[in-house]
């Protein structure tokens, strides 16, 4: 394999261990086989977004009706280590957080290269190094204060890696002068370096697939899995993947996505935060009936979210696939025991609802929530590993319910507007410094929750929405809030609030609407190999016309 076509434009500790000649050759084979299809599918996304802006709505596909109506097919049985998934913990693959996740008592650890990880080059490389060490049992960490961290749990969670979405490039690895797919880089490095060790330990190379917008994108992943298994001489079906249903278009193609991946499928997950972001993005210009209230009011009990989750369980269990619930984002705090007690009660209620609805497990963002989640599912599952037998045929397949936002109760408030602006800026400042998961006001914020915050602000401005006090939300009003907040931000050396504020203005307050803040932020501030701020506006191709 002629790896001279590859140019790496940055360097980070551990890079030589990760980007071996074998690894680069493997990535190049994946790139040559699938890059053209990836670009075609991204173009399909842009066409769909334009159609929604023009008044079209997602619907069940007539072309795949036969798949939905054929009751005979099933996905593969659960893979080793994925039979019982009643509690899954998520987080970035930072060294200390990796150890904490492995010690958490969860059944599964979602090792996140995506929304909980800022794509600084040092993070991309460190994630792969930490995965290798965790899988080989050699991971340890000593904090600057001298505190030692090591894995002490007798039974550690099954590791499931979430690579970056199809839309994200890896700008520091160029092939013939063009960037590789971030998805293929994250996937390829993990499966090449770790598949054999995982299989020897009685597990396998397992993945969470984010941001899929169609069954065609699932088919591309399935083709990647087939080729990777052939190249690495792994039995077909060794690789397994759980798909996050976190876009409105994917919600109309859940059974088709399972069908495309059926030999490699490990189920679907209700990616609640990105799903809300997708709804706002798809219908941001469709009028007041598509404008949602404060982010805090958008719980899983609002009608369109209930329709989404119940139809997800139905789709999964009809096909023998696991249905995994959404993330509990609360961060417990010993400093405020009363607030923690109230929040834990809310988490317990949320997880009890999911278990009662038929989900087989759910996500938490902090080790302190593992027991709460486990208890809720223990109460329903008992000794059973899952509840796949609950096919939920009582749930209607109702496309109208999935996109009926008009019944969502609640107001837009001044506090909600200010919260969206503050969270958006605070998150992006941390993201620019390399932190993809950040506790802000006792909630774990990641790229998905920040996307909701900035997208709501954009939508409210462009729909001339008003807060409950009757005042219209304008760009000038939002700019005044930004200026007021900016005066209180810490401007000490090392902080990046100046850039975060500039980025927030571009993605939330301008006329055009960037499809993803991660795309905008990467191009704007992390685009060159040295990861220095670059000048100029967000590239035109990454904007969505208003």
Catalytic residues: 162, 446
| Terminal Cα distance for the chain, rounded | 45
Burial 364-403 (b: 16+ CB within 10 A, else e): bbbbbbbbbbbebbeebbeeebbbbebbbeebeeebebbb
The C-alpha angle with vertex 274 and arms to 268 and 277, in degrees rounded to 5, equals 140
80 and 204 Cβ atoms separated by less than 8 Å: yes
DSSP 214: S
Measured between alpha carbons, how far is 207 from 261 in angstroms, rounded to an integer?
Answer: 12
Question: Quick one: 219 exposed, middle or buried, by C-beta within 10 A (0-12, 13-18, 19+)?
Answer: middle
Stretch (H or E) spanning 168: none
How far, in whole angstroms, is CA 445 from its chain's centroid? 12
- Distance CA(199)–CA(79), nearest Å, equals 11
Residue among 516, 544, 526 nearest 450 (CA):
516
Q: Name the token pair of 284.
A: 């941001």
Block residue for tokens 């394999």: 1
User: Please, what is the angle between helix 414-432 and helix 497-504, to 10°?
Assistant: 130
Burial 222-244 (b: 16+ CB within 10 A, else e): bebbeebbebeebeebbbbbbbb
Q: What's the maximum distance between 2 C-alpha atoms anywhere in the chain?
A: 65
How far is residue 454's CA from residue 436's CA, in Å, rounded to a whole number? Answer: 16
The position carrying tokens 């769909």 is 48
User: What is the C-alpha to C-alpha distance for residues 374 and 104, in angstroms, rounded to an integer?
Assistant: 12
In sequence order, the 6+-apart residues with CB closer than 8 A to the CB of 383 are: none
Give every CB contact of residue 121 below 8 A, 6+ residues apart in sequence.
Answer: 10, 11, 12, 172, 529, 531
The distance of Cα 206 from the centroid of its chain, to the nearest Å, equals: 16
- 420, 449, 509 from 444: Cα distances, Å: 14, 9, 24
- Are the CB atoms for 386 and 333 separated by under 8 Å? no
Alpha carbons within 13 angstroms on the beta-carbon side of residue 495 total 11
- Rg from Cα positions in the chain: 22
Helix, strand, or coil here: 543?
Answer: strand
């Amino acid at each position: 394999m002629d790896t001279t076509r590859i140019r790496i434009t940055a360097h980070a500790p551990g890079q030589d261990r990760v980007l071996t000649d074998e690894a680069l050759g493997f990535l190049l084979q994946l790139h040559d086989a699938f890059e053209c299809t990836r670009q075609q599918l991204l173009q399909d996304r842009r066409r769909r977004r334009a159609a929604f802006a023009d008044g079209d709505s997602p619907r069940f596909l007539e072309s795949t009706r036969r798949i939905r109506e054929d009751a005979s097919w099933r996905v593969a049985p659960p893979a080793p280590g994925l039979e019982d998934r009643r509690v899954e913990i998520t987080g970035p693959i930072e060294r200390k957080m990796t150890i904490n996740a492995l010690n958490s008592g969860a059944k599964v650890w979602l090792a996140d290269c995506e929304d909980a990880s800022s794509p600084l080059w040092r993070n991309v490389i460190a994630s792969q190094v930490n995965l290798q060490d965790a899988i080989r049992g050699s991971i340890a960490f000593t904090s600057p204060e001298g505190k030692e961290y090591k894995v002490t749990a007798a039974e550690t969670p099954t590791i499931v890696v979430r690579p970056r979405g199809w839309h994200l490039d890896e700008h520091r690895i160029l092939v013939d002068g063009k960037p590789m797919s971030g998805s293929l880089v994250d996937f390829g490095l993990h499966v090449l370096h770790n598949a054999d060790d995982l299989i020897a330990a009685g597990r396998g190379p397992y993945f969470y697939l984010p941001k899929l917008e169609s069954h065609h994108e699932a088919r591309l992943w399935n083709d990647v899995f087939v080729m990777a298994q052939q190249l690495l001489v792994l039995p077909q079906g060794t690789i397994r993947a759980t798909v996050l249903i976190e876009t409105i278009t994917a919600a109309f193609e859940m059974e088709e996505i399972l069908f495309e991946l059926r030999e490699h499928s490990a189920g679907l997950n209700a990616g609640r935060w990105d799903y809300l972001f997708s709804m706002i993005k798809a219908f941001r210009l469709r009028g007041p009936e598509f404008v949602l209230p404060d982010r805090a009011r958008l719980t899983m009990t609002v009608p369109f979210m209930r329709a989404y989750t119940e139809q997800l369980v139905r789709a999964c269990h009809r096909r023998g696939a696991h249905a995994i619930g959404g993330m509990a984002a609360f961060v417990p705090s010993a400093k405020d025991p009363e607030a923690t007690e109230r929040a834990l009660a809310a988490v317990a209620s949320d997880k009890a609802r999911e278990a009662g609805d038929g989900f087989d497990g759910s996500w938490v963002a902090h080790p302190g929530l593992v027991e709460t989640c486990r208890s809720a599912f223990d109460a329903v599952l008992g000794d059973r590993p899952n509840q796949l037998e609950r096919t939920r045929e009582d749930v209607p397949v109702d496309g109208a319910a999935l996109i009926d936002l008009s019944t969502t109760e609640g107001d837009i408030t001044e506090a909600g507007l200010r919260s969206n602006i503050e969270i958006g800026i605070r998150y992006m400042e941390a993201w620019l410094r390399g932190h993809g998961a950040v506790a802000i006001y006792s909630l774990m914020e990641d790229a998905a929750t920040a996307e909701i915050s900035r997208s709501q602000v954009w939508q409210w401005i462009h729909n001339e929405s008003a807060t409950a006090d009757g005042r219209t939300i304008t760009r000038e009003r939002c700019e005044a809030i930004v200026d007021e907040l900016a005066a209180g931000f810490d401007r000490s050396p090392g902080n990046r609030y100046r850039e975060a504020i500039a980025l927030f203005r571009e993605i939330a307050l301008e006329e055009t609407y960037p499809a993803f803040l991660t795309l905008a932020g990467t191009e704007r501030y992390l685009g060159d190999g040295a990861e220095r701020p670059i000048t100029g506006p967000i590239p035109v191709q990454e904007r969505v016309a208003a």
